[in-house]
Amino acid sequence: MTTWHLLTGEYPPSTGGVGDYTCALALELVRRGGAVQVWSPSIRADANDGGIRLRALPDRFGGRSRRLLLSGWDADPGVVLLQYVPNAVGAGGMNLVFCNWLRRQGTARDVRVMFHEPYFYFSSNPVGNVRAGIQRFMASLLVDASRVVYLSTETWRRFLPAAVPGVVLAVPSTIPRSSSQEVATRMRAQLCASAVTELVGHFGTYGEHIVRELEPIVVLLLERRRSTHFVCIGRNGKRFADAMRTRHASVADRVHYTGTLPPMDVAAAIRACDVMVQPYPDGVTTRRTSMMAALTNGVATVSTAGVLTEPVWHDVEGAALAPASDTRAIATRIAELLDSEPRRKALAGAGRRLYDDRFAIERSVDSLLAPA
């Protein structure tokens, strides 16, 4: 039985998409009969959880952590899989020492790296550009360390050496699939009046770059369609809803929010919607867990095509796409779905099938367990 040593900068109960992904990955590996040890500085104390051995690191991939990792790997050899985000490995996102150390380990061990993000972009900020340059070197060291390189999106191929093929492991939904339409119906009644015939939702954490895209879409849509309501699902949704109500009095009574909910209630809130809108300024990709939550829960979804969007979104219709930052086009896609129940149902079913066929955690583990 192979032991999988998963290294991650975050792990539940700390919040973060990479931590949630690592947890889902660990659970599926255990379900397939693997032995799993998760090593993270966010784990407070060694423990066993659902067959997963949790290992606390004393620092953020510094010298004490590296010594502990070596002793653990020597005692129980297996596959070492780093969930890589540059800023999560310590040293202010410039931990060259750790990356070079892992490269050396790769000469004697089965080391693999999953690139959730490759490196910081160059910009007009001189300090940021120093970090961006160092992170490019860190990425090259980790590529050299890896028997197999994994990518959260096919787009990252453009950011890594051309000789590295990379295996794409789409990041699945960290929200479960709701199987109860009855629960979704009750959730809808809690969110807005029963007389509401059109409910559009967004799921996310409402970061600034998403809010800039989302706000004008919501305003245009609600001003065009007086029977449509909008619900903010997810952490910080109340803040966004309150800001919308303050700035746009004409639509204030049709903007709602769920507040922070348990995962299964989030799934019910998503299913309560007629259409989900998930705009991303750089385009939808296979690493957008908020998009995956809408697809797995079988709701027709409108998203955006941008510079990072992979071909799969164009090759297989699982979502209605509009150009990123094109407010009118996005609002029009939503309206077209609201006006056609057959079209909504067909797109919802196609999105769910796309998720099951390409993006579910089972597909990622299939790739991990394939011969290296």
Mean pLDDT computed over every residue of the chain: 93
Q: Are 284 and 300 in contact (CB under 8 A)?
A: no
> Which residues have a Cβ under 8 Å from the Cβ of 106 and sit 6 or more positions away?
144, 145, 146, 147
| pLDDT value, residue 336 | 98
User: What does 301-312 look like in DSSP terms, one character per residue?
Assistant: EEEEE-TT--TH
Q: What CATH number should be reported for the domain whose range is 181-359?
A: 3.40.50.2000
Q: Whole-model pTM? A: 0.90
| pLDDT value, residue 122 | 67
3-169 and 181-359: identical CATH topology: yes
**pLDDT tens column, 88-113:** 999 999 999 999 999 999 999 999 99
| pLDDT value, residue 149 | 96
Q: In what order do the strands lie in the sheet containing 47-49? A: 47-49, 52-56, 35-40, 3-8, 79-84, 110-115, 148-151, 167-168
**pLDDT tens column, 163-218:** 678 899 999 999 999 878 888 888 888 888 767 789 999 999 999 999 999 999 99
Q: What CATH number should be reported for the domain whose range is 3-169?
A: 3.40.50.2000
Per domain, the residue ranges of the chain are 3-169, 181-359
**pLDDT tens column, 22-39:** 999 999 999 999 999 999
pLDDT of residue 160 exceeding 90: no
